[in-house]
Each structure stands twice: as structure tokens, then as C-alpha cells.
Amino acid sequence: MMTSKKVVELFYDVASPYSWLGFEVICRYKNVWNIDLKFRPAFLGGVMKGSGNKSPAMVQKKVLYMDKDLSRLRDYFNVPMQHPADPIGVIFKKGSLSAMRFLTAVQEREGGNTMAEQVSRELFLRIWNEDKDITEPGSLSEVPAAVKAGLSESEIKELLELYTSPKMKDKLRSTTQDALDYGAFGFPLLVCHVNSKAEVFFGSDRFELMAHCIGEKWLGPQPEK
Ligand SMILES: N[C@@H](CCC(=O)N[C@@H](CS)C(=O)NCC(=O)O)C(=O)O
């Protein structure tokens, strides 16, 4: 008899480069480990505020270290990360609120994972590889088209109306609150449900420990290689 799959929730925000690393690794493992992966797109700004934390990008020494760290991780994780020309403007001034509402709408509308995964990846790519805007409706409308999600123009229009609705704002707020309730102070956050207990891990650098705790094997960031 097959044992039931362990539910793993990934809380992430496309403004967070470490979220991108965590996102790609857990996507690579979703068919390697006996897990049922649930995407929980949430708002990192709300987590920072709600937990009383502040972004590491506000401390000069951390910024310098993260620069180096991320360029090493790009190769190790094989994720095509590129610094935007103005990271502070991208993360703090422009922010990710509308993009995360949009992603929430995509997920709600689909009720599944496939399009949410593709749209998330496209949003990560736009910020952290192509240095393109993710705040304007015109930019967001390019995303489902770019992932060839099979949406007609009227469906894309429908999504663009849906993402600014109070319902999607509330949904994003409640997902962010769920992350805070699990103890989040930053992203990515992975919550593993094993033996009716929730084990919470912060960071894209905790997969080895996470694998140990859920009884799976860690094969490095590129398990298929
Ligand atoms: N060591 C973690 C760092 C993750 C990280 O710095 N995440 C940022 C967002 S990109 C954050 O939320 N940081 C909160 C904090 O460090 O307190 C990793 O390798 O993934």
C-alpha cells in the first residue's frame, strides 16, 4: 500500500531572490519525494511588518554578503539569477503587492498548481533575470501570454479585473497571516506536515535538514542531475 503523501506548503514572494531558489528546488523535488506540494503565494512586506522584522537589504554589510552569496548560489542551484540594475527600487519602491495579488488570482481561478507554477516562474524571471516591470497591469497581462498558459484574451482580461478585487486582496492577506501564524519572519518558508505536526523551515538552505525531518533523501539542489 502506498503511504499517503506528506503535505509541504511553500510560502514565497517573487520579490525575494531566496524564494526563487527555494521555489525551483522544491519544484524539482515534487516528483522525487513523496510529497504533495502546495504553493502559498504571500506578501513578504506583510510578513516583515507583522513579525517586526526588517529586510536584510536594509543593512549594508548584509547587502554586500547577499550579493556574493546569490551569485554563488545561482551556479550551485542552476537558477538564472541576475541582479536588476536598481534592486532597492525593485524591492522597496515598486514592490510585489500587485504581482502577488495577480498570482493569488491565477491560483484561485485555476484551483490547481500547473499555471501557478508557470506564472510564478515567469514573475521571478521578469524581476531576477530580465529586469522587467511587474507592477503595471500592462506588464502583468504579458505574463500568462508569456507562459503560453492557453488563456484567451478575454480570460486574461478577466484575471486583470479579478486581481484587484477585494476578494483577492483578502485572500493574499489571509495567506500572509497563515505564514505569520506559523512563525514566519522572512521567506521562503516551508511548512511540512508530518505525523499531524507542522515542521517549519526558513530559507532555501534548509532542504537537507528538512529531508531528514520528513524521512526523504536529499540529493542536492539538482536531484535529476
Ligand atoms: N539563509 C536563507 C536566507 C533567506 C533570506 O535572506 N530571505 C530574505 C528574503 S529574500 C528574508 O526574508 N530575510 C529575513 C531575515 O533574514 O530575517 C537562504 O539561504 O535562503
In this model, does residue 76 exceed pLDDT 90? Answer: yes
Cell 513578504 belongs to which residue?
44
What's the CA-to-centroid distance between 18 and ligand 1, angstroms? Answer: 6
Q: Tell me what the mean pLDDT of segment 23-45 comes to.
A: 97
Residue-averaged pLDDT of the chain: 94
Which residue among 4, 16, 51, 98 is the active-site one?
A: 16
What's the CA-to-centroid distance between 143 and ligand 1, angstroms? Answer: 26
Q: Is residue 16 annotated as a catalytic residue, yes or no?
A: yes
176 contact partners, CB below 8 Å, separation of at least 6: 42, 43, 46, 47, 50
The pLDDT value given to residue 179: 99
The pLDDT value given to residue 145: 74
Report which secondary-structure segment, H or E, holds 160: helix 153-162
The pLDDT value given to residue 110: 87
Q: Is 17 in the pocket of ligand 1 (CB under 6 A)?
A: yes
Cell 554563488 belongs to which residue?
72
Q: Is 56 in the pocket of ligand 1 (CB under 6 A)?
A: yes
CA distance 155 to 58: 39
Q: Is 96 in the pocket of ligand 1 (CB under 6 A)?
A: no
The CATH classification of domain 6-214, taken from the options 3.40.30.10, 3.40.720.10, 3.40.710.10, 3.40.50.1970 = 3.40.30.10
Strands of the sheet containing 35-41, edge to edge, are 35-41, 6-12, 189-194, 197-202
- Taking CA atoms only, the protein residue closest to ligand 1 atom 18 is 203
Q: Which of 23, 66, 187, 190 to mutate to test the pocket of ligand 1 (most atoms within 8 A of CB)?
A: 187
What's the CA-to-centroid distance between 52 and ligand 1, angstroms? Answer: 15
The pLDDT value given to residue 59: 92
Q: Is 185 in the pocket of ligand 1 (CB under 6 A)?
A: yes
Q: Is 131 in the pocket of ligand 1 (CB under 6 A)?
A: no
Q: Is 23 in the pocket of ligand 1 (CB under 6 A)?
A: no
Lowest mean pLDDT among 22-26, 156-160, 170-174: 156-160
**What is the pTM for the complete model shown?**
0.96
The pLDDT value given to residue 16: 96
